[in-house]
Copies of this chain bind each other. A is one copy, B any other.
């Protein structure tokens, strides 16, 4: 038998820092291993337990259960039961949970400058979409409007760019100017790795349908910050 939190009072998971600093408290809340990555995967909408496992190769069912309990306990997510007949239960961030996105953006922006960063590692579809939000450069998108669809491993996503703003969502592809079909790393290769679309298509790694000009413009909109040189 396991200890239940019989009260509904939210409570801290695990060890905690005895520190009034907001950053320290954030680490009390979501500083445990995997917690932030679980939230990342939920950032584009609710997912089921097995979706999370699939998106986070390396997390064990055991730990995922604990993290979901912890994040639920602090009020960052809720477990919802979908209405029948699709009576699956899903985990969904609360409005406050969604507000954690700037944390991930700050982490991502900082870490991509590290020489240790290996962009060839696996990448989830959600990570790719969030990276677009993070790295989007409004100046480079001046006067550019586009609707880009992505088919990534059975899920569809839409990115809309207009008036120097970007939106990214997991949703059906509709009225897209371009549709990319392939894997997140392949798309990342084009956007961040400087790989030509033609090369990816020749490899069969990526399929690009629609306006080629728009596709080629799109992949220039997300400049990476420079790697650190000597001493930062």
Contact = CB atoms under 8 A, between A and B. Distances in A.
A188 B94 CA distance: 29
A169 B18 CA distance: 24
A21 B95 contact: no
A111 B188 contact: no
Interface centre among A15, A21, A105, A106 (most CB of B within 10 A): A21
A229 B117 CA distance: 38
Interface string A37-49: 1001000000000
The quantity of this chain's copies bound in the complex is: 2
Contacts of A231: 75, 78, 94-95
Contacts of A185: 20
A116 interface: yes
Nearest to A184: B20
Contacts of A228: 75, 94-96
Contacts of A105: 23, 106
Interface string A175-187: 0000000000100
Contact of A20 (B100, B103, B110, B188): B188
Given A110-B103, A232-B97, A31 B33 contact: yes
Nearest to A104: B23
Interface in A66-82: 74-75, 78
Contacts of A130: 21, 23
Interface stretch (A120-128, A146-154, A199-207): A120-128
A110 B119 CA distance: 28
